[in-house]
Amino acid sequence: MKKLMAANWKMYKTRAEAKATAEELVSRIKGKLPEDREVVIAAPYTALATVGAVLEGNAGCSLSAENLYPAEQGAFTGEISPAMLKDVGCTYALAGHSERRSIIGETDELVGEKVAFGLANGLSMILCIGETIDERKAGEVQKVIDRQLEAGLKDVPADFVPETVVVAYEPVWAIGTGEVAGEDEIVEAHGFVRKKLENIFPEKASEIRILYGGSVKPGNCAQIIALDNVDGVLVGGASLEGESFSQIALA
Ligand code: 13P
């Protein structure tokens, strides 16, 4: 299984900034990315074509959207379909990032529709899950993970290819706070995710990648990806500079 080192640029970067960052990243990892590593950049819609052009032809590098809408086309003002994303070179899309759940108000059900529709339309999907600090304090980590996985994976087509489904565990309290989850907390949560995946997809669960996200930096990435059931990372802040994300990609 290839480790997946994913950047999430959120709502940062004009096209020129995105191009410069992607070029710096590519120049730093070119020829150095191990065979068992994959790099993905999730960029804002307006920068996708630009970043895609930089990544094109670079083995092991793929382009992702940060979101999609689960319909082929139609009267959905402001939304973007999987076909449009594939048209600009995306092979991945995120679904259910905690910022979309908490700020935009996406429900578990909508997130599940996005995952299923993206997969059915040829994208690999990164389903983001994770508890808030209040949920952790209330002892509800497993309950939240269980609910978000159940709904998020509900309509995944039975014949899905395991590499095309990725789960990113991002405890909300560790996102953008500098407070990385402890190793025990990561191992426990990822172990629980794996068990749940085994329940849902008994034959494919071991090949589904589980990423950790939340204050991943060049200095802590190597320890994190060495933990049990950690198959890569999803990185926000530290992915915004080509140099720091290249260190993470090669960690
Ligand atoms: P940070 O790496 O900035 O904590 O963000 C994590 C994240 O939200 C990635 O999707």
Q: Could you tell which of 103, 133, 172, 235 is best to mutate to test the pocket of ligand 1, judged by most ligand atoms within 8 Å of the CB?
A: 235
The pLDDT value given to residue 140: 97
Q: Is the CB of 244 under 6 A from ligand 1?
A: no
Cβ atoms of 107 and 126 within 8 Å: the answer is no
CA 143-164-113 angle, to 5 degrees, is 55
Mean pLDDT of the chain: 97
152 — pLDDT class (breaks 50, 70, 90): very high
Centroid of ligand 1 to alpha carbon of 176 (angstroms): 6
pLDDT (mean) for 131-148 = 97
Cα 245 to ligand 1 centre (Å): 12
Take atom 7 of ligand 1 and give the residue whose Cα is closest.
Answer: 236
Q: What is the pTM of this model?
A: 0.98
CA angle 63, 8, 139 (to 5 degrees): 130
* Res. 158: pLDDT tops 90: no
The share of the chain scoring above pLDDT 70, in percent, equals 100
With contact defined as beta carbons under 8 Å apart, do 127 and 112 qualify? no
Dist CA 63 CA 217 (whole Å):
21
Active-site residue 170, yes or no? yes
Locate 140 and state its tokens: 């509800």
For 3, phi then psi, to 5°, come to: -70, 140
Residue whose tokens read 């990892």: 29
* Catalytic hit among 66, 97, 113, 190: 97
Q: Is the CB of 215 under 6 A from ligand 1?
A: yes
| CATH fold of the domain at 3-249 | TIM Barrel (3.20.20)
Residue 133 has pLDDT above 90, yes or no: yes
Sign, Cα dihedral of 69, 73, 76, 78: positive
* Ligand 1 nearest-atom number relative to CA 235: 2
Would you call 243 a catalytic residue per the annotation?
no
| Contact call for residues 248 and 5 (beta carbons, < 8 A) | yes
- pLDDT of 228 > 90? The answer is yes
Average pLDDT of the segment spanning 240-249: 98
- Specify the pLDDT at position 144: 98
Mean pLDDT within 146-172 = 96
Tell me the mean pLDDT in the region 99-126.
98
Q: How far is the CA of 238 from the centre of ligand 1 (A)?
A: 8
Distances (CA, A) of 59 to 9, 34, 38, 39, 163: 21, 10, 9, 9, 17
Helices (H) and strands (E) in the chain, counts: 10, 8
Task: Compute CA distances 151 → 133, 146, 172, whole Å.
Answer: 21, 9, 18
Name the residue with the closest Cα to ligand 1, atom 1. 236
Q: Which atom of ligand 1 is nearest to the CA of 97?
A: 10
Q: Best of 64, 216, 221, 224 to mutate for ligand 1, by most ligand atoms within 8 A of CB?
A: 216
At residue 231, the pLDDT reads 98
Of the residues 66, 99, 170, 190, which is catalytic? 170
* For range 181-199, the mean pLDDT: 97
Mean pLDDT of 213-226: 97
Place of tokens 């080509």: 242
Average pLDDT over residues 211-237: 98
The yes-or-no verdict on residue 81 having pLDDT over 90 is yes
Ligand 1 pocket check for 236: Cβ under 6 Å: yes
Proportion of the chain above pLDDT 90, given as a percent = 97
Burial 33-70 (b: 16+ CB within 10 A, else e): beeebbbbbbbbeebbbbbbebbeebebbbbbbbbbbb
Shortest-distance atom of ligand 1 to CA 98: 8
Structure tokens at 76: 């959905």
Cβ pair 163, 207 in contact under 8 A: yes
Does residue 66 line the site of ligand 1, with CB under 6 A?
no
239 has a pLDDT exceeding 90: yes
pLDDT at residue 20 greater than cutoff 90: yes
